[in-house]
Amino acid sequence: MAKGIEIHEAHFPGRAQIDAYGNGGFRFADMSHRGSVLLLPSGIYGWKAASMSDVTLEALQPVLDEADNIDVLLLGCGADLLRVPSDVREAMREKGISCDSMSTGAAVRTFNVLLAEERSVAAALIAVEKA
């Protein structure tokens, strides 16, 4: 019997710099992903957040799950700089993670630099249309 197509959650099992962003997605490791992403020590994952109202403790649970390997979380808020929700900031602080919010473009650039320096960095990046 023929097997149908299986659809899995988007996941790249490794660390990679972001080569480009915009047009609603990201390019990395000779691949592209449409939508937002979580960049964690365990890999790059598709993320359902489309705006800061979607940035909740539940949405960031994968970050908390890998907290032992993360010192800094960069939160790319989209086109603008917005504040990290206080409950998110407090939960990250309790796990020893510094959480910094900035535009997605600034977060991409900062992530790439910190990753090149082999720092314990993670990023939660909301996709934007224009780079």
User: Long-range pairs for 107-113 at CB < 8 Å and ≥24 separation?
Assistant: 107/74, 107/75, 107/76, 107/77, 108/18, 108/21, 108/26, 108/76, 110/74, 111/17, 111/18, 111/39, 111/74, 112/17, 112/18
Residue listed under structure tokens 């409950």? 87
State the Cα–Cα distance between residues 105 and 65, nearest whole angstrom: 25
Question: pLDDT per residue over 45-71, tens digit each?
Answer: 999 999 999 999 999 999 999 999 999
Where do the domains of the chain lie?
11-125
Judged against a pLDDT cut of 80, whether residue 9 lies above it is answered with no
pLDDT of res. 10:
66
Q: Give the CATH class of 11-125.
A: alpha beta
Judged against a pLDDT cut of 80, whether residue 86 lies above it is answered with yes
Mean pLDDT confidence for 85-109: 96
pTM above 0.85, yes or no: yes
